Structure 1
């Protein structure tokens, strides 16, 4: 298998180089045969990379310990599912997985019939990136290196990686990272073709939205994994590698919003080009952080020489892209200008500035240890308070804009309409705030502001939908239900975006509650003892021991009662893996929309006494549920249907603007 995989990667590398050369020959007017040959080379690159991936998977499953990578990340007693996930557990394997996704996407773009005029320019750009990864796999980080004296068993997988999150978190994150190569390639193709209008945006809208969705899910699944595996009661620690995945999500979110302004008003062309370049660059920057060892992270692969290669390649491709933007600057400047600071397009720009500002603050906080070491000779880490203090107000301002933007007109809004459109949403928000204070007992300023903004966003969104239904009903005579269904179906992009906004509001609720109102306690129990913690009656039955697969488990049996309701039994575990001296703490969690009871077993005595750390984390479930609401919104926005124009609502014959028909 090792030789098979190595040969496959060598052929893929050669075919990748040939595809780039053949595309160049075609673009130099050397004949159609070069285009056909280049396309076939792209398909061949994808085929042989796929064969190499299958060779690695076969080696991992069968335990071919003659391959160094298999020895490093698997063992005979490792469950099969984790043998499969070992493909992306290490440096070389994860690069192979990344390259595989990338060449498959390049093949899909090349075979597409929707973008024929862009293929000779977009496909070679994707293949240049693919060739870089294949170069790394062939010459720098080779996944099929063989051992002269294979051991009888492997070293096994890091216990922290033996979690269901390992199955889905890296996959979704990599799909999000790699997916943004497609809009980047099309943007550069549009510049090369001297056609920087909105055609490239329309062709890549689905690619961009799907990539953004996978990046969203990747971050969310990573947070869930940290929550259930790392045993500290939280889900986001502003770790450098966590930050590396959040930054392209922020700039990608900004890009998704700003391209709507370009499509609708023929504006922000330069800004959108720079945004997609930055987003693509940040996806590569994340691989640099993970593989360079320049910053400490629980997610990093450790020190390696790969970081320098990624830094050089990322710098070169970003500089080349920016040079192309500068060279086409006169074409990009053609378009409309802002007519008023109070308009929908201005609110979109402010939205972008907030998102990019947040990304920059995270970038600065992440690289500050590197900068400080270069300047003063000492790494000075930036702590969690910095990230929270900077990004919390930005997050609230961004959330507020989600409620403001739908109710502001394009071009120029007058104060009379603004007052009319925002009256009821603010009345409802203020009533909600008063109820939270006097009935809910919420007095902490940050939580009160955040929840009030969330109520405002929900009410303004519902008002916008209601107005659309009312206008449609008046013009067509349909009943309310039919009007609602047809209104939504006529503009899936707009209302899919609203569903996504509702998911983000739910996540804001979860983030706020879990950070502002969380509490913890340390309790010591003897077998049979009971204690009250945060309104929960917890009874400790005793410690037990068992064996599972490749681990020994010490677990505590607990029963929980809350508000006279039996919440069931909990098993809180300390897990000892055969391949690791460090035990893993597995929390037990009871989750409701109100709060999570999160229990950790931290130690025990010979007489059976056990020590527990107990967290009460309010509204965490809102965070996870909000993520799935976002998924629903994206699917709805992408679902095929007529009349899915930008920011408009259709009745079949014309566009609706409140109270009048636009012909």
Structure 2
């Protein structure tokens, strides 16, 4: 019953999405009433919500006659992870994807009298919605019937049942991804809308801010989740699927810079970046759901791969055709002075796009070389450390330079840069004399000190005028803290892995761990092996209990590290293996300094984006004296 209703909801959603395409095209071409088109978009949203609700109901009711439940549900799975298992596998995650996509479409369509720009943009969003409904209904239908009906299911991947971030990270990431569809749609609609499309950047910027802030939070939570669950002691491995989340973030960051003040003098940049951000989202979707890359984050191989690749190529073709026509240069689009904010913004965009290109090459190169050589080449972290990391340090330095260029007087700008420059050089000298961590790490520390000092100076100077400058300061300060956390953990982190017998000690730096005992138990149908240890450091001794969990339904063993976090460093203990007699265990002890700054920096960047969004919303609210028929609706996105 639930399966039949779910399949019917997908069909209804597909029909509603097709109707929305036609009705919004009618509004754009003929100026017809928008109410039927808005109802069609609302119908697609209701259908997506119904499909998600019905699959959740099937999961909670353990209805194993539904294929998705039979493959990913289980009576032994806790309720929280039963709910989150909706997006634990490809078919169910596509329903969440559809729900968020339809939600953005409904928000964009909410104006009762949309102009031609929004009408054409809704055509684009509705086409994207139609294609994803078709994928879900015909190639990835989670409601297919199962015969015979099993008595129980294996549950989701054990890695997805260990941490509450499972309920936060994928929805945040999807919301950030799909928020990019609105700037993409507006960029494609602008040349079709004529004069109404001239102001598309101003309309798109709040949407881009909302998507960028959400994507930032999703990436940061994902790094933290990986750090807390996978047991390897790291937070970023330049995994292809990790890279797929970074790519649109980089280009969206560039768009937020080039779209400052309306971005009329950077029209081609804005169009390219708005389109490129969503095209990279589609490419990441292909990599994640096609089985093209081997990753702990990716879904298994599926028939969606060729369809998604075709969708990516179709979107690239549409973007090229619609935005490739020549347009007259906007006023003020000439050359800018070398030492100016406008030049700094363009250099920033060029660097961000260059970093994105470097990461993209490293991500897709193995896929391109396999048909030619017959073997898939690998691109390891060393490639990114030699290419992307130096560019990122230059970007960080530029983030400290740009605020000083808000003034037109060059002498004043240079004076503002003097104190941050002195502090940055002093930081490099002090750290270099004390520890000699290497040129890359020294540069990162110096750049971070330069940025933080410059931001402190600028914020102090603007203390009576909070607004966009404060939002940028928060985001750039967060970026500097992330740089310090990454550089510090990479340069000063220490780890050792060794097999120790009960009573023996493993030592790393000034931290030691003594194995006390090893014991096995059954926990919710799983075999759990725990190592009880005494962890000593900083003059204190405490108990730490890392574990190994074996899931017989999935025939998978996962690690459960014991992490002790502090303001200066984390102590990270992992149980790798145990002897049959329980007399010894292989432990990995890592001391990771300054890792907490990465999570704090990610939070600050997100808050900076949300602050900018709030400032934009406040600036767009109509004045009381403004005629009612000319007012923009309050709130963001608009």
Check whether TM > 0.5: yes
Task: Name segments (4+ residues, structure 1) moved above 4 Å.
Answer: 113-117, 332-335, 640-645
User: How does 1:315-326 map onto structure 2 within 5 Å?
Assistant: 315-326=313-324
Q: CA deviation at 1:409?
A: 4.2
2:567 is aligned to: 593
Pick from 535, 538, 544: which aligns with 1:560?
Answer: 535
1:377 Cα deviation from its structure 2 partner? 3.2
Change in Cα spacing, 1:296 to 1:413, as seen in structure 2 (3 Å) is: farther
Do structure 1's residue 171 and structure 2's residue 161 form an aligned pair? no
Shift of 1:642: 9.2
Question: In the TM superposition, what whole-angstrom CA distance separates every residue of 1:393-416 from its partner, at most 9, and x where no partner exists?
Answer: 011000000100001147x663x3
Alignment of 1:125-140 (within 5 A): 125-140=124-139
> Which residue does the alignment assign to 1:529?
504
Separation in 2, partners of 1:249, 1:198: 25
Structure 1 residue 598 displacement after superposition: 0.9
Q: Is the 8 A contact 1:261 1:345 kept in 2?
A: no
In structure 2, what is the Cα distance between the partners aligned to 1:82 and 1:596? Answer: 27
- What do the CA deviations read for 1:541-584 (whole angstroms, capped 9, x no partner)? 21233333342321111222223134x32111011223132211
Q: Secondary structure at the match of 1:268?
A: helix
**Cα deviation, residue 261, structure 1:** 5.6
Specify the alignment match of 1:475 in structure 2.
none
CA shift for structure 1 position 32? 2.7
Distance change (3 Å), C-alpha of 1:280 and 1:330: same
Partner of 2:87: 88
Query: Which of 593, 602, 611 is residue 636 of structure 1 equivalent to?
Result: 611
Is residue 445 from structure 1 mapped to residue 428 from structure 2 by the alignment? no
Q: How many Å separate the matches in 1 of 2:450 and 2:126? A: 46
TM-score (norm 1): 0.89
Q: 2:547 aligned with 1:547, yes or no?
A: no
How far is 1:599 from its partner? 0.8
Structure 1 pair 387–641 and aligned structure 2 pair: CA distance change class (3 A): closer
* SS of alignment partner, residue 166 of structure 1: helix
Deviation by residue 1:317-364 (Cα, 9 ceiling, x = unmatched) = 22112211123x224555521232221111111111111111111111
1:336 aligns with 2:333: yes
Q: How far apart, in 2, do the equivalents of 1:223 and 1:381 lie?
A: 22
Residues of 2 paired with 1:259 and 1:148: CA distance?
55
Q: Which runs of 5+ in 1 are unaligned?
A: 469-483, 646-663
Distance 1:540 1:198 in 2: 68
Work out the CA distance in 1 between the residues paired with 2:114 and 2:184: 15
| Structure 2 Cα separation of the partners of residues 254 and 271 of structure 1 | 9
1:224 positional shift: 1.6
Distance in 2 between the 1:378 and 1:578 partners? 33
CA distance in 2: counterparts of 1:64 and 1:121, whole angstroms: 42
In structure 1, what is the equivalent of residue 380 of structure 2?
Answer: 383
Paired residue secondary structure (1:151) = coil
| Number of residues of Structure 1 aligned to a counterpart in Structure 2 | 617
Counterpart of 2:543 (choices 563, 569, 576) is: 569
RMSD: 2.1
Alignment of 1:415-454 (within 5 A): 416-438=411-433, 440-454=434-448
Which has the larger displacement, 635-644 or 64-73?
A: 635-644
* Distance in 2 separating the partners of 1:641 and 1:202: 10
- Displacement of 1:443 in angstroms is 4.2
**Partner in structure 2 of residue 271 of structure 1:** 269
Residue equivalent to 1:26: 27
Quick one: structure 1 residues 643 and 404, their matched pair in 2 at CA, closer, same or farther if it must change by over 3 Å? Answer: farther
Residue pair 1:343, 1:413 contacting (<8 A) in 2 also? no
Q: 1:641 to 1:335 in 2, by over 3 A?
A: closer
* 3-state SS, counterpart of residue 324 of structure 2: helix
What does 1:45-56 correspond to in 2, within 5 Å?
45-56=44-55
**For the residues of structure 1 that align with 2:367 and 2:516, how far apart are their CA atoms?**
50
Give the match for residue 69 of structure 1.
68
SS class of match (1:149): coil
- CA offsets per residue over residues 17-76 of structure 1, 9 Å max, x none? 0111112223332x634x221111111111122111110110011111001111101111
Q: Distance between the aligned counterparts of 1:57 and 1:186, measured in 2?
A: 34
- The 8 Å contact of residues 190 and 198 in structure 2, kept in 1 or not, is answered as no
1:182-201 alignment runs, 5 A limit: 182-195=182-195, 199-201=199-201
**1:480 alignment partner in structure 2:** none
Q: Does 1:456 align with 2:450?
A: yes
Cα distance in 2 for residues equivalent to 1:330 and 1:124: 22
Give distance in 2, aligned partners of 1:380 and 1:83.
Answer: 38
The answer as to 2:38 corresponding to 1:39 is yes
